[in-house]
A and B are shown apart, each in its own frame.
Chain A
Amino acid sequence: QKEVEQNSGPLSVPEGAIASLNCTYSDRVSQSFFWYRQYSGKSPELIMSIYSNGDKEDGRFTAQLNKASQYVSLLIRDSQPSDSATYLCAVNSVGSGNTGKLIFGQGTTLQVKP
């Protein structure tokens, strides 16, 4: 069974620090990787997508992909209390053809302390 693994946390960082969130996946041929942010009681919101090995930066967020090691990470620079949320890693389900099905990790809860 294809899996996406995340440490559930909570990951606690002080305001202004770098938060590092990690995700590993089991399907070696996965091609599309996503990070979603979910505030308590709200729906998941897409914040980053990455498809190629290396880094992709968007503002304070950097997604890193290493297909050889089968992990994807999300770095949040200058963490703010408003970044406190659960971060979900999602990977495309290759065996499903072109259905766009994603496999989600259970999420890592981030707490940014003022």
Chain B
Amino acid sequence: DAGITQSPRHKVTETGTPVTLRCHQTENHRYMYWYRQDPGHGLRLIHYSYGVKDTDKGEVSDGYSVSRSKTEDFLLTLESATSSQTSVYFCATRGGLAQYFGPGTRLTVL
């Protein structure tokens, strides 16, 4: 267990509102990742970070932004939530060559 927590665990919001999801890790891992998981699509990488203030896009980054001001925290922001962003969001960190996942956030956009 890589000591990863995510908050909130569940959130319901309305279209057009901003939403921020938080990932916190206690392992001092350099690399962190945000994924979304949807039926029929599997896990898809949104953004990742390779250090404080160092981030890059994944395959489904449109509509999302990230920030990493401390090693332990990686924030995912939906600037203006849309119904297509209803999903389960997982944060992961890299330990060695593998990734370890947080418990996830279930986000519903009405």
Contacts and interface: CB of A to CB of B under 8 A. Distances in A.
Nearest to B100: A46
A14 interface: no
Q: For chain B, which range describes its interface: under 10, 10 to 19, 20 to 34, or 35 or more residues?
A: 20 to 34
Interface of B: 31, 33, 40-43, 45, 48, 50, 56, 58, 90, 94, 97-104
Given A43-B90, A44-B90, A105-B42, A100 B97 contact: yes
Contacts of B50: 99
Give the top 8 A-B pairs by smallest Cβ distance, nearest first.
Answer: A106-B42, A43-B101, A100-B94, A104-B43, A32-B97, A44-B101, A100-B31, A43-B104
B34 to A, nearest CB: 12
Interface of A: 32, 34, 36, 42-46, 49, 51, 88, 90, 92, 99-102, 104-107
A107 B50 CA distance: 27
A97 to B, nearest CB: 9
For the complex, would chain B's binding face be called helix, strand, loop or mixed by DSSP majority?
A: strand
A49 B42 contact: no
Nearest to B49: A99
Nearest to B106: A41
Contact of A99 (B31, B102, B104): B31
Contacts of A36: 101
Contacts of A107: 42
Contacts of A100: 31, 33, 94, 97, 99
Contacts of A46: 98-100
Nearest to B31: A100
B97 A92 contact: yes
Contacts of B100: 46
Contact of A34 (B40, B58, B90, B98): B98
Contact of B41 (A32, A88, A99, A106): A106
Contact of A45 (B40, B43, B101): B101
Contacts of A44: 43, 90, 101
